[in-house]
Amino acid sequence: MPLPEKMPLALIEDDEIVRQATSQWLQLDGHQVLEFADGESALNQLPPDFPGIIISDVRLPDIDGMALLPRLLERHPEIPVILITGHGDVDMAVKALRDGAFDFVEKPFDPARLLQTVARALETRRSQTAQQDRHAYLAQAEGLEKVLIGRSEAMVRLRQQLLKVAAIDTNVIIYGETGCGKELVAHCLHQFSTRNQREFVPINCAAIPENLFESELFGHEAGAFTGAVKRRVGKLEYADQGTLFLDEVESMPLNMQVKVLRALQENTVERVGGNRPIHIDLRVIAAAKEDLHHHPEFRQDLFYRLNVAQLYLPPLAERSEDILLLFDHYTHQVNPDTRLPSPSDQQALMRYPWPGNVRELKNIATRFALDPSLTVGEILASRPNLTTEPSSATLPLAIQVQNFERKVIHECLQRHHGSIIDALEELDLPRRTLNQKMQKYGLSRSDYT
């Protein structure tokens, strides 16, 4: 839905001279004004989905403005209502704010002050409407669009490509920076393929110690080496007829690259210590952060085998249309009643460079939804930039300490691949304390597993 460029103002004022003068100021400022001489006619004529804001005098002939306010808000709970109060009605004004008025302007008023208040109210209204539009989009999304969220041109195109590629059972390489959604895309490729009744088997090539790699991938027979007590089925065999996901494939040791290539060429695996080739039927999806073509540490024959199709995930900062959409999606997931991000919250979100991409946005949104006292700016300031060292000299000590604490926990979870037990031991913390700190810093176990 395109958002209306110009939002109407409803002006409720019984004094005809004042009403006309006010209306004129507003129109000269470029606004479209609907005039009402009393409260009832405004209540009757404004549609429930009135897209603008309301400015109302509190002294009206038919209904007291203070009684009108709750009735207006009952019908139009979102709409900012600016009240015009008589001189000296401070108590009334305070009560009005408590009851949900957007602001009040004291009579006789300075037109510039009224116009400023109107501009702020319109800005709030605009961001409400934009958020409603995003929520409506998220609610109607179905299938792939509901999982791989985004309205930017890049995401729309990616979903189209993904569905095409999913249908043609070929190997795929997915490129993208950290936290961009490579694993999510790999999962979607599997879900939307004919192999979706079989296993999706992820292997993080950067996380497996080199000496365990072969047994992890190819399995072993009992007694194949010291410690191989029982027979073990490797990941390639386990993924038979399903999808094998080679994450961080550029980290695969060179000798393993040779073996994986042979397995893919011959469609067979041999368990370590076994002498019988086992037939496998695999689709391989690989994810990489670096270009594998001409990569000095990546075998080009394996590259060509994998590179039948390619999907490229642009960094979040390059698809800024998706930032608020994903923010709304994640805050809504944590708490459907999360407050509307203020204009400065939204600016902070739009300006931030997002080195950790969607994963980082998800963490920020989660913290925003969990702690109503925080602004986005505060959350971002208390968060170490995970890719570059922040110039911490200018930050208050308390924030530097928090940044450091967050970094220690983040790196510990990374080292232990999200194992809370190992992290507790290393940090020597009670579980409750670690949980609280992880929540405070928006760290989620699942991002490390």
Ligand X SMILES: Nc1ncnc2c1ncn2[C@@H]1O[C@H](COP(=O)(O)OP(=O)(O)OP(=O)(O)O)[C@@H](O)[C@H]1O
Nearer to ligand X, 151 or 299 (CB): 151
* Stretch touching Mg ion by CB under 5 A, among 79-87, 177-185, 256-264, 355-363: 177-185
Closest approach of Mg ion to the CB of residue 323, in Å: 20
Least distance between ligand X and beta carbon 315 (Å): 10
Classified as helix, coil or strand, 52 is coil
Spatial distance between the Cα atoms of 194 and 168, rounded to a whole number of angstroms = 9
d(CA 148, CA 162) in angstroms, rounded, equals 10
429: alpha, beta or left, given left = phi > 0 and alpha = psi -120 to 50? beta
Angle (CA) 267-271-276 rounded to 5° is 70
Q: Which residue stretches of 1-75 are H helix?
A: 16-28, 39-45, 65-75
Is 38 a binder of Mg ion (CB under 5 A)? no
Q: Which of residues 181-200 bind Mg ion (CB under 5 A)?
A: 183
| C-alpha span between 278 and 269 (Å, rounded) | 5
Beta 81-85 vs 53-57: how paired, if at all? parallel
Between residues 22 and 338, which has the closer beta carbon with respect to ligand X? 338
Residue 150 near which of Mg ion, ligand X, none (CB within 5-8 Å, type-dependent): ligand X
Angstrom distance (rounded) from CA 446 to CA 417: 9
Q: Please say which residue, 155 or 423, places its beta carbon nearer to ligand X.
A: 155
Q: Judged by CB under 5 A, which stretch of 31-39, 57-65, 178-186, 385-393 contacts Mg ion?
A: 178-186
Phi/psi region, residue 100 (left: phi>0; alpha: psi -120 to 50; beta: rest), is left
CB nearer to Mg ion: pick between 7 and 313: 313
DSSP bridge pairs for 244: 201, 284
CB of 182 to Mg ion, least distance (A): 5
Q: Give whichever of 182 and 410 is closer to ligand X, judged by the CB atom.
A: 182
Give the footprint of ligand X on this chain (CB under 6 A): 148-150, 176, 178-184, 358-359, 362
Q: Which residue is nearest to Mg ion (CB)?
A: 183
Comparing CB distances to ligand X, the nearer of 176 and 219 is 176
Chosen from ligand X, Mg ion, none, partner binding at 149 (C-beta under 5 to 8 Å by type): ligand X
- Residue 184 contact partner, candidates ligand X, Mg ion, none, CB within 5 to 8 A by sort of partner: ligand X
State which residue, 149 or 260, has the beta carbon closest to ligand X: 149
Report which secondary-structure segment, H or E, holds 333: helix 321-334
Minimum gap (Å) between residue 439 Cβ and ligand X: 17
| The amino acid at 229 | V
Count how many residues are written for the chain. 449
Whether the Cβ atoms of residue 332 and residue 135 lie closer than 8 Å to each other: yes
Name the one range near Mg ion by CB under 5 A: 176-184, 305-313, 344-352, 382-390. Answer: 176-184
What does 384 interact with, of Mg ion, ligand X, none (CB < 5 to 8 A by kind)?
A: none
Please give the Cα distance from 54 to 72 (Å, whole number): 9
Shortest distance, CB of residue 183 to ligand X, whole angstroms?
A: 4
CA distance 218 to 236: 6
CB of 138 or CB of 252, closer to Mg ion: 252
Q: How far is the CB of 248 from Mg ion (least distance, A)?
A: 7
Angle at 217 between CA 216 and CA 221, to 5 degrees: 70
Q: What's the token pair of residue 149?
A: 């969220």
* 259, two tokens: 């073996």
How many Å apart are CA 27 and CA 219, to the nearest integer? 77
Shortest Å, Cβ 209 to ligand X: 19
- Say which entry of ligand X, Mg ion, none residue 181 contacts (CB below 5 to 8 A, set by partner kind): ligand X
Nearer to ligand X, 66 or 323 (CB): 323
Q: Which residue is nearest to ligand X (CB)?
A: 181
Binding site for Mg ion (CB under 5 A): 183
